[in-house]
Amino acid sequence: QVQLVESGGGLVQAGGSLRLSCAASARSLSRCAWFRQAPGKEREFVAAISWSGSSTVYADSVKGRFTISRDNAKNTVYLQMNSLKPEDTAVYYCAADYRSQRPATAPVDYNYWGQGTQVTVSS
């Protein structure tokens, strides 16, 4: 069973930055992604990355502000979040999958999930 553990969440003022980390208990996970869920809303896609890191996909709402990356030697995926806005407030979840290299945007495309880390952006 693969375990994913997120860290790096917290409280930040609008315009600030945070870097989330997701440490995996197993090697060679293929695609990885970040999703988020705000209170009363459905879980939404944020960013995804292929195993090699050469292919990335972003939600329109975070393009130009967030960057997903990975260090396979450390089995860790990162989400650098800059220019944060109050509407970025949510629980952020790391997700991973072995079934395909291609980054995907739907929750059903990932079969391993972390427990989530809270990100709160104050105005």
Residue, of 114 and 29, whose pLDDT is higher:
114
Stretch 25-36: mean pLDDT, rounded? 88
Question: What is the rounded end-to-end Cα distance, in angstroms, of the chain?
Answer: 40
Give the per-residue pLDDT at 36.
Answer: 98
Residue percentage of the chain with pLDDT more than 90: 89
pLDDT in tens, 44-102: 999 999 988 999 999 999 999 999 999 999 999 999 999 999 999 999 999 999 888 89
Give the per-residue pLDDT at 99.
Answer: 85
Stretch 4-19: mean pLDDT, rounded? 97
Per DSSP, 109 falls in state G
Point out which residues pair with 7 in neighbouring strands. Answer: 21
Q: Do 54 and 2 touch, CB atoms closer than 8 A?
A: no
Res 27 pLDDT > 80: no
Give the per-residue pLDDT at 18.
Answer: 98
Strands 117-122 and 10-13: parallel
